[in-house]
Each structure stands twice: as structure tokens, then as C-alpha cells.
């Protein structure tokens, strides 16, 4: 059988394109900001992870330009061999100090971080236990490891305990959870996870991609939010969100970091972060440390949007983060809502099955520290207008 047979069949993206509601790969003609030029149209951006509004900060841009001029465009090798710059070391040391961990190592992307960490830590006779709503990179990291993966129902601590009870006592166990879940915006039940980990002699890893710069003291993330920094064994995070760059990291004890550095194939066999990316992340971290009020502004504007949407009767998922998902239920209505909103100058992200259960499709909206109340008022009015229009739309098969 030809392996390309699956490609010859009509794909869902082709069906959506034919219906004229394809929501992906819209062309930006400007940088990430609260208002962007998308395909020639002024658009309020409610779909970015630029939480602290640092992607266009003059100091961040200047740092990137200076690094490009000094070190060139790339490192031409892995960190393991010729690709380690003094900038990499500086970023790792500064981030370890900020996160109150012994040591940090950096990866070229956030996705690669989860691949590299989990596949190195979880061995053939080990178990990795995941929340069902964890990020795709966690799942792929589990697949890349030689261990056995178990999944517990989202934030269901009784189900987590059942999974822990099923692990043979002679096997090692790593519990992996998102800190802030990327689709729903809710925060993991870290205190109970830590409690269960101690009871069953498991270790805990938190993916803080959407937690760093968003929650916790000064934006230090989920463990800080719950005052459990000493109880979480591994933090993973990215630079592509709050820290306005590209790359990822692991923060842990010195022994754990050194082990992963010398055993992780995705780390050893990948080129290191580019000089400009490192410099931008380093400068963004310095701004976060100097201006923790950005985190407060971010959460204030997010709370304001939640209040506006509730006042308008919009059905949202409750959270305490800058991720506010809006229920649209059917996939087609979700795609259509994105199209209608973009025509009205508002960009949001569609989340449809299988990323959500069938019948629970969403518009994922997210906010930055630089959104103004005027922009929020304008966007919330248009969201309400479009959702009202969708009430009379019949779902197409």
C-alpha cells in the first residue's frame, strides 16, 4: 500500500478551506503588539502569548541587534560541542537565580525542552503520569522515552492517586503537569500533586510555559504562586511567551541538570539557541525583574476582560490567568466566529476537536500587559456581536 494514500483523501483542512472559514496562517505585516496589521487590516490581537508586551520593547530589540552584530546569526553547532556562548551561560545563571533553583539549562525551543527532559529522565522501567490536558510536547516527550505513560483526568486528584497506586513499587515515577493549562487557562492543583508525590515517592515536573511572567511572586510561575518552590523537582518553560524570544529551559538541582545535559538526545544533537534569541530573552528577564508591576497590569486587564464578557452574558471558562477561553461548542461555528471577528478587526485563536472534546470547541483569547480598557471594550463588543450572530447559524456537516 502507498504510504501517501492518506494524503490523497480529502483532509479536514481542505473541507474548511472550501467552506471559506479556514482560520490559519493569516499573514502579519507588523510585529506582535496589542494592535497589529494583519493582511492589511487594523486588528486587535487577542491571540498572542506576548503576555508582558516585551516583543517590541526597545531594550529587547537593542539587545538582539547587538548580539547579532557581535556573535553573528547562529552558533553553527550544539551546546554540547562548539555552540556554547558566554551569553548562554549568563542567561542560565540569571534565570536559575530568578527561579530559586540550583541550575538551569536552555534548549533551542520550548517543544524541544519537554522532548529532551522527559526522554532523558524517564527510563525503561519508569512511569510518567500526565494530566490529560497537558501540552502536546509533553505527550511527545513521553513517547520518546522508554517508560510507560499513564494519564489522569484533568485536575482529578483522585484519579491521579489511582494511577500512582498502580505503579509497581520498584519503578520510578515522574508526575508531569502544565502549571497554567494553555487551552483552558486554569492552574494545576499543585499542592495536592506535591502531597501525592511525597506519599508515593514520585517526582514532580511542572511545565510553566504559560506560568512564567504570569503568576507567582514577580512572575516566577506556578510553584511560586503556591509557595512550593522547594517541592517541585523540575520546572520547564519557554522564552517565546513572556520573555519575548525563542527557546526553552529546564530548572532543577545541579545533579538533575548535569544528567540531562549529558544524556538528552534532543539537546545534544540540536543546534543551540541563536545569539540574538539568547540576548533578547536575557534582556526580557531583566525587565521582568525590574518591572514586576507588568505582571500586575497583565492580571488587571485580564480580570477586566472577564468582567466585561460576563456582563455581556458570554460563556467563558473561569480562570485567574490571561487566557480566557470562550465556548463556541461546534467546530464550524468556531471557524466562522474567527472569520467574522477578523472581518471586524479582532483576532482570536480557534480550538477545535481533537484539541478539545467534541462539542466543546473554543475561541482562545489571551491578553498582554499593554492592552488598554478602550481596546478591551471594543473587542468585547465585537465578540458579543459575533456570538449573537452565530445563534442563528445552522451547523454544517
Strands (E), 31-144: 35-38, 41-45, 103-107, 127-131
Q: Residue 57 class from Cβ within 10 Å (0-12 exposed, 13-18 middle, 19+ buried)?
A: middle
Cα four-point dihedral sign 173, 178, 183, 184: positive
* CA 319 vs CA 188, 215, 304, 316, 366: distances in Å: 11, 12, 13, 9, 12
Q: Which of 137, 202, 152, 213 is CA-nearest to residue 175? A: 202
List, in sequence order, every residue forming a beta bridge with 237; answer none if it has no partner.
Answer: 249
Strands (E), the chain: 35-38, 41-45, 103-107, 127-131, 148-152, 173-178, 203-207, 234-238, 248-252, 323-329, 346-347, 349-351, 361-366
List, in sequence order, every residue forming a beta bridge with 351; answer none if it has no partner.
Answer: 362
List, in sequence order, every residue forming a beta bridge with 346; answer none if it has no partner.
Answer: 44
Rounded to the nearest 10°, the torsion over CA 161, 163, 169, 171 is -130
Q: Does residue 76 carry a catalytic annotation?
A: no
- In 182-229, where does DSSP find H-type helix? 190-199, 222-225
Catalytic residue among 88, 101, 103, 241: 241
Catalytic residue among 88, 163, 210, 371: 210
Catalytic residue among 108, 119, 155, 182: 182
What's the angle, vertex CA 245, arms to CA 283 and CA 284, rounded to 5? 20
Cell numbers placing 225: 504562586
Q: Does residue 182 carry a catalytic annotation?
A: yes
Cα four-point dihedral sign 34, 43, 352, 376: positive
Active site residues: 182, 210, 241
Amino acid at each position: 500500500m502507498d504510504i501517501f494514500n492518506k494524503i490523497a483523501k480529502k483532509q479536514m483542512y481542505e473541507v474548511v478551506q472550501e467552506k471559506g472559514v479556514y482560520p490559519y496562517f493569516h499573514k502579519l505585516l507588523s510585529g506582535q503588539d496589542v494592535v497589529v496589521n494583519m493582511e492589511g487590516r487594523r486588528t486587535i490581537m487577542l491571540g498572542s502569548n506576548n503576555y508582558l508586551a516585551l516583543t517590541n520593547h526597545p531594550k529587547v530589540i537593542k539587545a538582539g541587534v547587538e548580539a547579532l552584530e557581535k556573535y553573528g546569526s547562529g552558533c553553527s553547532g550544539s551546546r554540547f560541542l562548539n555552540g556554547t556562548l558566554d551569553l548562554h551561560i549568563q542567561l542560565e545563571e540569571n534565570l536559575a537565580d530568578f527561579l530559586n533553583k540550583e541550575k538551569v539549562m536552555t534548549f533551542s525551543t520550548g517543544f524541544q525542552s519537554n522532548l529532551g527532559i522527559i526522554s532523558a529522565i524517564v527510563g525503561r522501567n519508569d512511569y510518567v503520569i500526565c494530566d490529560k490536558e497537558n501540552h502536546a510536547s509533553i505527550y511527545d516527550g513521553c513517547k520518546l522515552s522508554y517508560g510507560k505513560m499513564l494519564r489522569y483526568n484533568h485536575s482529578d486528584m483522585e484519579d491521579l492517586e489511582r494511577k500512582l497506586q498502580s505503579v509497581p513499587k520498584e519503578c520510578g515515577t515522574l508526575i508531569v503537569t502544565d502549571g497554567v493549562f494553555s487551552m483552558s487557562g486554569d492552574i494545576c492543583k499543585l499542592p495536592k500533586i506535591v502531597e501525592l508525590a511525597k506519599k508515593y515517592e514520585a517526582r514532580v515536573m511542572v511545565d510553566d510555559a504559560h506560568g512564567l511572567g504570569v503568576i507567582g511572586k514577580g512572575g516566577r510561575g506556578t510553584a511560586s504562586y503556591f509557595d512550593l518552590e522547594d517541592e517541585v523537582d523540575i520546572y520547564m518553560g519557554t522564552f517565546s511567551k513572556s520573555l519575548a524570544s525563542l527557546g526553552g529551559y529546564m530548572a532543577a538541582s545541579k545533579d538533575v541538570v548535569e544528567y540531562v545535559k549529558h544524556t538528552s538526545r534532543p539537546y545534544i544533537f540540536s543546534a543551540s539557541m541563536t545569539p540574538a534569541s539568547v540576548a533578547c530573552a536575557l534582556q526580557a528577564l531583566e525587565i521582568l525583574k525590574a518591572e514586576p508591576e507588568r505582571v500586575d497590569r497583565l492580571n488587571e486587564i485580564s480580570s477586566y476582560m472577564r468582567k466585561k464578557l460576563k456582563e455581556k452574558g458570554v460563556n467563558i471558562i473561569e480562570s485567574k490567568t490571561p487566557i480566557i477561553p470562550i465556548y463556541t461548542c461546534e467546530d464550524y461555528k468556531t471557524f466562522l466566529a474567527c472569520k467574522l471577528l477578523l472581518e471586524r478587526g479582532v483576532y482570536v485563536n480557534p480550538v477545535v476537536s481533537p484539541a478539545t472534546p467534541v462539542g466543546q470547541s473554543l475561541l482562545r483569547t489571551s491578553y498582554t500587559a499593554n492592552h488598554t480598557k478602550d481596546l478591551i471594550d471594543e473587542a468585547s463588543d465585537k465578540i458579543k456581536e459575533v456570538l449573537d450572530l452565530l445563534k442563528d447559524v445552522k451547523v454544517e456537516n
